């Protein structure tokens, strides 16, 4: 395994992934993680997590290596993508995990200019992270991310959806039915989802849509939907639809039969 954890924090996602990997049969021969983190308060804890991961792998007979990069992920990766004479070498991975920062990007700011220089047009840090990771993954590599669901629709994210869905095939999207249950201790105000995608230029036939409240007492409900019902081929905006329940799916199917638009009725949305 060669894993990248961009914005690793305390390293909890890396530790969770490693436990999952070590439970597999057969176990891999090696596990390498490249972890990016710039928060001084998290870096020391991240070092301790990586040391614990190394000890766990040693007990299991798996060779563990890690690289802790205390530098800005966007700045370092965009420089690598430029492939200039003095640019750092571009490294690729076969797995990525990320819970990126969610802040908006100010137009003209340094990270905004760096992303635009790499051909990435985004308005938020988290979508910039996803776009960069999609460029660092090898064919059939897997990405799992905890992100806001705001990228699924709206004109601000249209360029990102076109770019991301042109490189990545969505396999599963998990919706939290409660905005507060899953991240109640983190003061997260946005509605978050977990997505799993694979590096592939081919569209998936189906996508698994699952949901839960987000606390430990609730079960997970899931169903498979054709890709065309998640992203309609007739939709120029490429909105990603997430009907988490049969009731929501039924309602969306009924709405899809309505051919008119609000402007036909003299209405606008504020």
Q: How far is CA 126 from the centre of its chain?
A: 8
Tens of pLDDT, residues 191-246: 899 999 999 989 999 999 999 887 777 789 898 999 999 999 989 999 999 986 67
Q: Which distant-in-sequence residues (6+ apart) come within 8 Å of 112 by Cβ?
A: 105, 106
Rounded average pLDDT over 157-167: 96
CB atoms within 10 A of CB 118: 18
Residues 81-96 as b or e (16 or more Cβ within 10 Å = b): beeeeeeeeeeebbbb
Q: What is the pTM of this model?
A: 0.89
Mean pLDDT score across all residues of the chain: 91
Tens of pLDDT, residues 172-193: 999 987 666 555 555 555 789 9
């Amino acid at each position: 395994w060669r894993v990248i954890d961009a914005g690793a924090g305390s390293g909890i996602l890396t530790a969770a992934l490693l436990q999952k990997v070590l439970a597999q049969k057969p176990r891999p021969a090696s596990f390498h993680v490249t972890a990016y983190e710039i928060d001084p308060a998290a870096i020391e804890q991240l070092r301790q997590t990586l040391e614990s991961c190394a000890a766990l792998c040693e007990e299991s007979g798996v060779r563990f290596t890690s690289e802790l990069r205390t530098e800005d992920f966007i700045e370092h990766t965009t420089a690598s993508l430029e492939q200039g004479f003095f640019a750092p070498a571009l490294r690729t991975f076969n797995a990525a995990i990320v819970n990126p920062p969610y802040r908006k990007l100010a137009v003209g700011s340094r990270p905004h200019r760096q992303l635009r220089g790499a051909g990435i047009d985004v308005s938020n840090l988290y979508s910039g992270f996803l776009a960069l990771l999609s460029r660092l993954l090898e064919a059939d590599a897997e990405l799992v991310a905890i992100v806001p669901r705001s990228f699924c629709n709206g004109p601000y994210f249209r360029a990102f959806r076109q770019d991301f869905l042109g490189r990545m095939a969505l396999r599963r999207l998990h919706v939290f039915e409660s905005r507060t249950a899953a991240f109640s201790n983190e003061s997260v105000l946005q509605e978050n989802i977990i997505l799993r995608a694979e590096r592939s230029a081919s569209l998936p036939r189906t996508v698994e849509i699952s949901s839960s409240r987000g606390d430990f007492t609730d079960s997970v409900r899931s169903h498979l939907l054709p890709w065309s019902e998640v992203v309609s081929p007739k939709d120029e905006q490429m909105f990603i639809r997430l009907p988490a329940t049969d009731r929501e799916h039924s309602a969306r199917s009924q709405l899809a039969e309505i051919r008119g638009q609000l402007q036909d009725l003299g209405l606008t949305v504020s």
